[in-house]
Structure 1
Amino acid sequence: MVKRKKDSRQGIKFPVKVNKWDGSAVKNALDDAVTDVLTKKYSYEVNYSLIDGRLLLCGIAVGVAMFALLWDWLYPFPISRPVLIICVSTYFTFMGLLSLYTTYRERGIFFVAIQKDPIGFVPDNLWEASSMLKKYDDKYNLTLSVTNGKTGHVRSGTLVRSVANFIDENGYILNDLVEPEVTKLHASLVSDKKDK
């Protein structure tokens, strides 16, 4: 579990501490550190459309379940049987669609941002960051990709480092070590864009 401390009096943000043996917590904390670098250093506008798609599917499924619950309360079981069958089938259909969406559309993407052209003549570029940390493995795989708004060409780069490079022995995330790696990966994609 990720713990964040913030002093409300001065607005000082303390380092993030995680259980360094919990792979999921470590991955999420490193994802947050990468997101902080991309939003604060480069001032990209975060795009929530990927998360909104997941929320839409979940919202419809929960709405169907709530409708079934209300219908069964108003018209007890023998009468509500056909409506319950339809609602249960619809619910599991949307849960299947949600599984497909997270597997094939999200694919571990935790950050989507738009790089706007300051002048407004060139279409916006789309940046995506995805990560993977396998169970019982210490290798954090970060993939950063940019889609050129003008040509639609996608460039991506991958960074594979041990989580020990970014976490100290007490479990604190070392943002000052995360930032140079993300900056280097970002710069390689920007220089590729200028070369072409």
Structure 2
Amino acid sequence: MAAKNWKDDKPVKVNKWDGSAVKNALDDSVRDVLTKKYNYVENFALIDGRLLMCGFSVSVAMFALLWDWLYPFPQSRPVLIVCVSTYFIMMGLLTLYTTYKEKGIFVIAIQKDPAGFIPDNTWEASSALKKYDDKYNLTLTFKDGKTGNIRSASISKSVANFIDENGIIIHELVEPEVSKLHNNLLVDRKDK
């Protein structure tokens, strides 16, 4: 059985007037280029941090619910106050985490050294698509594992450059843009 080409995946169709759906589909296409074309390993640590915070918040809420069921309201009041306060603090921390730590990053890909002697390089892709705007802003950040230097490159293009009139994402138009950013960051690395 021959290996399947990453470009042979089923075409993705989205409602081209739904900005959020278009952004997510383009993000998935960029993720495919990094993980399938370049064979980088996706790192889920950033998403795991968010899931951990959400899981803890839900656990606190479930504990409050169980405590209130076992010990009805007047008796459970102090525990409910602590649980509700903890829940809202966690939601505030989650907001700060997504705003300042994630910053629109939708994929972190690790470029491993085949020999295992050089530390792994890290690629981060982040994007933005403002409401009622057609400009898809993509930023690719490269962190050199050997030196620790961080470089980034970005593009801003209309989503019409990547989808057809039927709302189908055209991977053949996304891939060259991501590859251009990728190669520019690698060239900068070799120049230094």
Deviation at 1:13, TM superposition (A): 3.6
1:63-115 C-alpha deviation (Å, 9 max, x unpaired)? 00000000000000000000000000000000000000000000000000111
1:121, CA displacement in angstroms? 1.1
Are 1:91 and 2:87 counterparts? yes
Residue 46, structure 1, aligned to residue 42, structure 2: yes
Residues 135-193 of structure 1 deviation map (CA, whole Å, 9 limit, x = unaligned): 11111000000111111110100011110000100000001111111111100001111
Pair 1:123-2:119 in alignment = yes
Instruction: Provide the aligned length of Structure 1 versus Structure 2.
Output: 185
SS at match of 1:73: helix
Per-residue deviation at 1:31?
0.1
Q: Which among 167, 170, 177 is matched to residue 173 of structure 2?
A: 177
1:137 aligns to what? 133
- Aligned match for 1:36, one of 28, 32, 48: 32
Question: How far off is 1:118 after superposition?
Answer: 1.1
Quick one: distance in 2 between partners of 1:126 and 1:13? 26
Match of 1:23 among 19, 22, 25: 19
1:183 and 1:146 map into 2 onto residues whose CA distance is: 13
What is aligned with 1:107? 103
Distance in structure 2 (CA, Å) of the matches to 1:188 and 1:151: 18
Separation (CA, whole Å) in 2 of partners of 1:91 and 1:137: 35
CA displacement at 1:119 relative to structure 2: 1.0
Q: Secondary structure at the residue paired with 2:187?
A: helix
- SS of 2:118 mapped into structure 1: coil
Determine whether 1:56 maps to 2:52: yes
Indicate the residue corresponding to 1:146 in structure 2: 142
Greater relative contact order, per chain length (Cα 8 Å cut-off, separation 6+): 2
Task: For 1:100 and 1:132, locate their aligned partners in 2 and report how far apart those are by CA, in whole Å.
Answer: 18
Q: Are positions 1:157 and 2:122 aligned together?
A: no
Give 1:41 shift.
Answer: 0.8
Which stretches in structure 2 are left out of the alignment for 5+ residues? 1-7
Q: What TM-score do you get using the length of structure 2 for normalisation? A: 0.95
The C-alpha deviation readout for 1:39-78, integer Å capped at 9, x for no partner, is 1110001100000000000000000000000000000000
Question: In 1, Cα distance between the equivalents of 2:34 and 2:147?
Answer: 23
Give the alignment's Cα RMSD to 1 decimal. Answer: 0.8
Q: Distance in 2 between matches of 1:167 and 1:59?
A: 36
Shift of residue 14 of structure 1?
A: 2.2
CA distance in 2, matches of 1:178, 1:107: 22
- C-alpha separation in 2, matches of 1:24 and 1:79: 45
